Amino acid sequence: MSLLSKLFHYVLLTKTKYRIDESHGLSHSMNVLNFANAIYENELPKNPTLEKYEKTIYVSAILHDMCDKKYMNQTQGLLEINNFLEDKMTNEEIAFTTNIINTMSYSTVKKNGFPDLGEYQYAYHVVREADLLTAYDFDRCMIYNMYRMGGNLQDSYDNALHLFENRVWKHNEDGLFLTNYSKEHYLDLHNMSINRCDFWKKMLKKTM
């Protein structure tokens, strides 16, 4: 089994073990990996040293929510990730992978600012911004709320709209995008999320 397969298999097992809903499950890991790869390939020509951290970027992108405190004890989750990676990466790679995962969330950055990860700093931003770009998925936000609210669509929409108005649609003005790829592509995602939000607003007004 390839490393990529093992990583996604770990996501599947952890998702089942901790009852992680689909908003933070396999498809989200795949989407973050997709954006991380896009940012990495866009940044590599002007920052060739980034190639050294490619493996760390991809592993962090796939596993980043497998210790999410919304679903489990974060310390325990990180320990389990460490144990899983023990025979797959060097000790240094594992240390920086868990450091990236532990410091990349929106709430952590807003509270503490960007960490100082030394030579891994740019790799950190690649993964962090990939996760931010996936946050423009309005349906994903509604899905998370529907699991929390027993399927109440109106309340899920209201909560998602509140989060987008106060967080997601402010990502750029809050200075959270540093890479050229994110700066060039976030607006398309921003506009798509507005259109999706409008769709749900209209749909909820219809008599079903």
Residue the block writes with tokens 């952590």: 108
Residues 130 and 140 in one domain: no
Residues 152 and 178 in one domain: yes
The CATH number covering residue 128 comes to 1.10.3210.10
- Which pLDDT belongs to residue 151? 86
Residues 77 and 169 in one domain: no
Q: Which pTM value belongs to this model?
A: 0.95
Distant-in-sequence, close-in-space partners of 13: CB < 8 Å, separation ≥ 6: none
Residues 5 and 81 in one domain: yes
Domain ends where: 134, 158, 181? 134
What does the alpha-carbon distance between residue 187 and residue 193 come to, in Å, rounded to a whole number?
10
Residues 178 and 117 in one domain: no
- Which pLDDT belongs to residue 149? 87
**pLDDT per residue as tens, the chain (208 positions):** 899 999 999 999 999 999 999 999 999 999 999 999 999 999 999 999 999 999 999 999 999 999 999 999 999 999 999 999 999 999 999 999 999 999 999 999 999 999 999 999 999 999 999 999 999 999 999 999 999 988 899 999 999 999 999 999 999 999 999 999 999 999 999 999 999 999 999 999 986 6
Domain ends where: 80, 99, 134? 134
- State how many domains the chain has: 2
Domain ends where: 134, 152, 183? 134
Q: How many CA atoms lie within 13 A of 177 on its CB side?
A: 19
Residues 146 and 115 in one domain: no
- Which pLDDT belongs to residue 128? 98
- Which pLDDT belongs to residue 206? 87
What does the alpha-carbon distance between residue 83 and residue 81 come to, in Å, rounded to a whole number?
5
What does the alpha-carbon distance between residue 62 and residue 57 come to, in Å, rounded to a whole number?
9
Residues 57 and 143 in one domain: no
- Which pLDDT belongs to residue 207? 65
The alpha carbons of the chain give a radius of gyration, in whole angstroms, of 17
Q: How many CA atoms lie within 13 A of 147 on its CB side?
A: 14
Full domain range(s) for residue 199: 136-208
